[in-house]
């Protein structure tokens, strides 16, 4: 919330991760990993109890098995640039080689 009357515009970085819905989810709904310990399937949780929210810009619900961007909660990401880290995800080196894409 803006409490000091600040009228300047700004931009924010929000870390996102591709995930799969364990069941039907709504845009903006709070989600967490299900089961805990993996980083692919997410399901609904109480606000603040998960890791983030379903992409709030979606215009339709996500069906079970649907893939979407999960927006991670603010102030939980431990490093942010175009490569980010978070305690729930195993660290991967940003300089690690990537397999070339075959053009066909």
pLDDT tens for 62-87 read: 999 999 999 999 889 887 666 678 88
Structural domain harbouring 43: 16-72
- Alpha carbons 60 and 29: distance in angstroms, whole number: 12
The pLDDT tens digits for 2-17 are 888 888 777 778 889 9
Contact indicator for 71, 60 with CB cutoff of 8 Å: no
- Alpha carbons 73 and 12: distance in angstroms, whole number: 13
How many domains does the chain contain in total?
1
Q: Would residue 67 count as lying in a domain?
A: yes
Within 8 A by CB and 6+ apart from 2, the residues are: none
Q: Would residue 58 count as lying in a domain?
A: yes
Q: Would residue 91 count as lying in a domain?
A: no
Q: Would residue 28 count as lying in a domain?
A: yes
Q: Would residue 35 count as lying in a domain?
A: yes
């Amino acid at each position: 919330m803006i409490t000091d009357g600040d009228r300047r515009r700004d931009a924010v970085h929000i870390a996102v991760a591709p995930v799969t819905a364990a069941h039907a989810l709504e845009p903006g709904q709070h989600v967490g990993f299900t089961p805990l310990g993996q980083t692919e399937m997410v399901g609904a949780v109480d606000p603040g109890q998960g890791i983030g929210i379903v992409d709030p810009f979606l215009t339709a619900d996500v069906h079970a098995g649907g893939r979407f961007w999960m927006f991670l909660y603010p102030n939980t990401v431990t490093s942010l640039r175009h490569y980010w880290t978070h305690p729930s995800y195993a660290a991967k080196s940003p300089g690690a080689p990537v397999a070339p894409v075959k053009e066909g």
